[in-house]
């Protein structure tokens, strides 16, 4: 069970949506840093501002923290930060082939959908985009961890239901690993978020990293 109420989610979005939307539009124009290629299998962290580490240093972003954790536990992977602030599932679909072009990519952490929600993109369209991303990853033999988001009741009951069902439905359909809520334990906690109330601060990123790692670990191999 997710330990967060729809009432609190509603408050979160009411306070933060407009500010986040404006910030994301501005940030999306910034290019992604090119990773240093190493002779190790790759994990591509594919997402938006929550992946890119909006408002934080590179060393505070979850892909960086995940790399440190993998190294400490003896896993021989290189984590690639393929997050772009402001990105939507449509934007992700347009760049997924480039992100997976390296044959050494073995795992895709797919964390998109929050900006679709802010733009009220129809859940059916979002689902179609995510499904295509998943299919392209699986066609290359890449394992997928799908990270879900939740819509607040302010979006309307029907939209909320359809949006929230997209992620578990895709996980079931394509038989992929699934994390129900990317911000579990972080959302609405002032001590774990930046001033905008949406993006995790450095401490919040540590919590998010631990949550992701817990769902990622079954996909990992030691070699």
Name the residues annotated as catalytic: 49, 196, 199
Beta strand spans in the chain (E): 42-47, 78-83, 105-111, 143-147, 177-179
Q: Which residues contact 58 (CB under 8 A, 6 or more apart)?
A: 33, 64, 81
- Comparing CA positions, the residue from 175, 154, 149, 153 lying closest to residue 164 is 149
Query: What is the distance between the alpha carbons of residues 208 and 211, in angstroms, rounded to a whole number?
Result: 5
């Amino acid at each position: 069970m997710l330990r967060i109420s729809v009432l609190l989610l509603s408050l979160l979005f009411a306070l933060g949506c407009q500010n986040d939307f404006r910030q994301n539009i501005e940030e999306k124009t910034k290019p992604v840093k090119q990773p240093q290629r190493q002779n190790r299998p790759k994990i591509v962290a594919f997402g938006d501002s929550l992946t890119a580490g909006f408002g934080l240093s590179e060393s505070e972003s979850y892909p960086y923290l995940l790399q440190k954790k993998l190294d400490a536990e003896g896993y021989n992977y290189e984590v690639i930060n393929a997050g772009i602030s402001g990105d939507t599932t449509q934007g992700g679909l347009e760049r997924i082939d480039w992100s997976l072009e390296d044959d050494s990519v073995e795992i895709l952490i797919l964390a998109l959908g929050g900006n679709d929600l802010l733009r009220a993109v129809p859940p059916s369209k979002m689902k179609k985009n995510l499904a295509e991303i998943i299919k392209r990853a699986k066609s290359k033999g890449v394992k997928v961890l799908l990270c879900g988001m939740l819509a607040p009741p302010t979006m309307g009951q029907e939209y909320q239901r359809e949006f929230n069902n997209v992620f578990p439905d895709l996980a079931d359909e394509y038989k992929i690993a699934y994390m129900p809520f990317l911000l579990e334990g972080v959302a609405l906690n002032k001590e774990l978020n930046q001033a905008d109330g949406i993006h995790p601060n450095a401490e919040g990123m540590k919590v998010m990293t631990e949550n992701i790692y817990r769902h990622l670990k079954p996909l990992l191999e030691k070699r």
